[in-house]
Chains A and B, each alone.
Chain A
Amino acid sequence: MTAAVRREPTFVGMPPFPEAAEAELANPVQRANLRAATHTIRAKRDAVVAELPDWELLRRAGEAIKDDVLARLPGLLEHLEAAVRAAGGVVHWARDAAEANAIVVDIVRAEGVDEVVKVKSMATEEIELNNALAEAGIHAWETDLAQLIVQLGDDLPSHIVVPAIHRNRAQIREIFVREMGRVGRPAPERLSDEPAALAAAARLHLREKFLRAKVAVSGANFAIADTGTVCVVESEGNGRMCLTLPETLITVLGVEKLLPTWGDLEVFLQLLPRSATGERMNPYTSMWTGITPGDGPREFHLILLDNGRSDVLSDPVGRQALRCIRCAACLNVCPVYERTGGHAYGSVYPGPIGAILTPQLRGIARHPVDAQTASLPFASSLCGACFDACPVRIDIPEVLVHLRAQVVDGGRGPHDRAEDAGMKTLRWMFEKPWRIGFAQHVAGVGAHFVRHGVIGRVPLPKRVSGPVGAWFADRDAPAPPAESFRSWYKRTEGGREL
């Protein structure tokens, strides 16, 4: 293997959401890709959800099971730890990304290898494990098709389930042709952009890596406290290969991924595939409990990752975000995500769940945060489509508004003095009816100078003219009428002279 150590770009240093979104909006190819993909998944999801007469009950069951887990998390985690140990696994606890990465690096080094295969995992994305491995001279090979596209393209993931959703077939073909040969088996000659041909190219490219790898790293969808069983659901079979072929398996598990008992899986194996990919069941569901001599990996390491989750748990409103099973249904229905794409959110968790989870993981309730983090709770029109789609009933709009209050009232984000002054003025005006009456009268006088009741383009760049300029960049507005409703009602005694 001669490939140089590659480093994926990171989200660090991304601008706040409004700026990042504006840049992404200017990419019509991406917008078309996203629109097509999200609408397709949405339709499939709606169809398979409609098949179940008890979908609402399943959602409530999912919510209740996860809330129960969160209510007694420490005890359940110790229970899990004991069960995994009893089954021959090794359990590690990691407070943050640095600790988790160091544990993985140490295990890989101890095996004396310089490469690992990876099952797509949000937890390892969150802690930027690939970068940490690269710094230690270890190659991490992504084996999920979409994640491979992201890795080869030196790109960032933009969706929780389909990380390369912002790419179309032609772009993927070009990445394969250009990059595969640099890190392993090159793309076949005359590769077409047919999905089957692209998948076949990925299969050939990955096969040699699967067969050679001594160590695999995975995330997990669920872990069962009772038995110590870990579960990964996926669609391509690459996960199954990683989980069974190598000698050593390392799983990084966010501590909220627990389920108390095996029976609880029943609910989630109905909720997750339907919500995520619009399938009744995903093609591959792998479960393992510790190690089994003569079958699968000889060593199993489970890393229990906190990385801010305890902080999230301590917020009674915000903690519902920890129910998330990473199905991405909320992304697929989100009108903001559909226009801006995932990169604008500046985090591995984009879309509605990203807008509430990322700020909390970064600690919005505890200490002041940067402009990017503080912008995320505002990256939503509060339309509520995410809540309706969420299989575990996370009230995302409620958490968004809750986090906005933490940013503004708690002074945790960069202070926007103009907005603050505007809001205080409005409150002052609204506190006494005569004040709003007086303001309406003044506005009404101004209206006499506006033609046809419409205010059009304002000749100021929006950065200079603030919210007013932002509104008028693309929109007209009605001029305030000469008479407000309250004046009319008083003058006409409730319209009696009509």
Chain B
Amino acid sequence: MRLALFITCFNDTLFPETGASVVRVLRRLGHEVEFPYDQVCCGQMHFNSGYRRDAVPLVRSFVEAFEGYDAVIVPSGSCTAMVREHSATVARTAGGTLPEGVARVAPKVYELSEFLVDVLGVTDVGAYFPHSVAYHPTCHSLRMLRVGDRPTRLLRAVRGLTLVDLPRAEECCGFGGTFAVKNAPTSAAMGDDKVSAVLESGAQVLCAGDNSCLTHIGGLVSRQHAGVRVLHLADILARTDALPDVPVYRPGLPGASDLVVGHAPGPEATR
């Protein structure tokens, strides 16, 4: 099976560690994953914001980059949903051979938890993470991909991890792509309620399958000094007793012993 990683432009630029985590988890399970350098962006932001024509070249480049693979693994529910559910609409706008290209490639695109559970048939990936975790089912994973309990089954199988209930888990966090800036106060009000729910849950870490939603929630947590960590599912699944910390490729962050991987450090950071 020839596997490809679609990192997504957002992860590529802001959360390289999540991509590294996917590579590590798959390698631990005995699979190599290739990274086609020609990949860029699924076109979701353009499509969802109404710039549908501008999404055409992006969908085309996606098809070109990933033709020839048996499976494309994506650490993002919303980008997976874009490729699987919407790129056909974009392709229809473009015409030519693009619709057929999309029809060939899109069905082979999997969100990470779908790939692990459905294709590899694995729920225990051999991870170790001794913390309490709440899982936020991001809207596109939940309602477009219907990933269901796949992510929580993966989390439950992590040694040392305590999965706690997130109140009102299925409510949107308010990120919504450009909604977060076009309707910023509404988006923040929704996110504030999500942060309250996370605090109510008592979890040390909020986990989700989309770094975009986590950036929004983590950004509010950080501003409020709420002291909860946010982590992508892959970054939890990558951890083992031997490697308790996912390597962090960025300056200025404590790399070794702290739980934090990314963007929600304690209060001292924003003073």
Contact = CB atoms under 8 A, between A and B. Distances in A.
B269 interface: yes
B223 A476 contact: yes
A457 B9 CA distance: 25
Nearest to B143: A384
A471 B49 contact: no
Nearest to A18: B183
Contact of A473 (B23, B37, B188, B222): B188
B159 interface: no
Interface string A289-316: 0000000000000000000000000000
Contacts of A406: 50
Interface of A: 17-18, 21-22, 25, 335-336, 339-340, 377-385, 387-388, 401, 404-409, 419, 423-424, 426-427, 430-433, 436, 439-440, 443, 447-448, 450-454, 456-457, 462, 467-468, 470-471, 473-486, 488-490, 494-495, 498
- The 3 A-B pairs of least Cβ separation, nearest first, read A381-B176, A404-B50, A478-B263
9 contacts: A381-B139, A404-B48, A427-B54, A427-B57, A470-B184, A477-B263, A481-B16, A484-B12, A485-B19
Contacts of B38: 433
Interface in B142-162: 142-144
Among A430, A467, A483, max chain B CB count under 10 A is at A430
Contacts of B176: 380-383
Contact of A427 (B46, B171, B180, B253): B46
B253 A474 contact: no
B208 interface: no
Contacts of B53: 409
B215 interface: yes
Nearest to A17: B183
B139 A478 contact: no
Given A431-B40, A486-B7, A383 B143 contact: yes
A454 B270 contact: yes
B29 interface: no
A396 to B, nearest CB: 12
Given A339-B186, A478-B263, 16 more contacts: A21-B186, A382-B48, A401-B48, A401-B50, A423-B45, A431-B57, A433-B37, A436-B12, A450-B252, A457-B270, A462-B184, A470-B182, A474-B220, A476-B218, A478-B14, A485-B15
Contacts, number: 251
Contact of B265 (A25, A387, A454): A454
Among B35, B57, B252, B270, max chain A CB count under 10 A is at B252
A264 B29 CA distance: 55
A452 B188 CA distance: 23
A52 B28 CA distance: 46
Give chain A's interface secondary structure class: helix
B52 interface: yes
Contacts of A488: 16, 19-20, 249
Nearest to B140: A384
A306 B80 CA distance: 40
Contacts of A454: 222, 263, 265, 269-270
B190 interface: yes
Contacts of B43: 430
A475 B50 contact: no
B182 A436 contact: no
Interface residues of B, number: 82
B64 to A, nearest CB: 11
Contacts of A433: 37-40
A387 B216 CA distance: 24
Interface of B: 7, 9, 11-16, 19-20, 23-24, 27, 32-33, 35, 37-41, 43, 45-54, 57-58, 61, 86, 139-140, 142-144, 170-172, 174-192, 215-216, 218-220, 222-223, 247, 249-253, 262-263, 265, 268-270
Given A25-B186, A453-B262, A482-B251, A494 B13 contact: no
Contact of B49 (A404, A452, A495): A404
Among A448, A462, A494, max chain B CB count under 10 A is at A494
Nearest to B78: A382
Contacts of B86: 401
A443 B250 CA distance: 12
A419 B24 CA distance: 38
A477 B140 CA distance: 22
A485 B188 contact: no
A467 B181 CA distance: 5
Contact of B180 (A424, A471, A479): A471
Contact of A401 (B16, B20, B47): B47
B140 to A, nearest CB: 8
Contacts of B219: 471, 474-477
A470 to B, nearest CB: 4
B181 A440 contact: no
B191 A443 contact: no
Contacts of A471: 180-181, 184, 219
Given A18-B183, A404-B48, A475 B251 contact: no
Contact of B179 (A382, A450, A479): A382
B178 to A, nearest CB: 8
A447 B182 CA distance: 26
A335 B40 contact: no
Contacts of B220: 474-475
Among A427, A477, A498, max chain B CB count under 10 A is at A427
A145 to B, nearest CB: 29
A430 B9 contact: yes
B59 to A, nearest CB: 11
Contacts of A473: 184-185, 188
Contacts of A404: 48-50
B251 A486 contact: no
A484 B40 CA distance: 12
B7 A430 contact: no
B112 to A, nearest CB: 15
B50 A409 contact: yes
Contacts of A489: 19, 23, 35
A443 B23 contact: no
Contacts of B39: 433
A430 B249 CA distance: 23
Among A452, A481, A485, max chain B CB count under 10 A is at A485
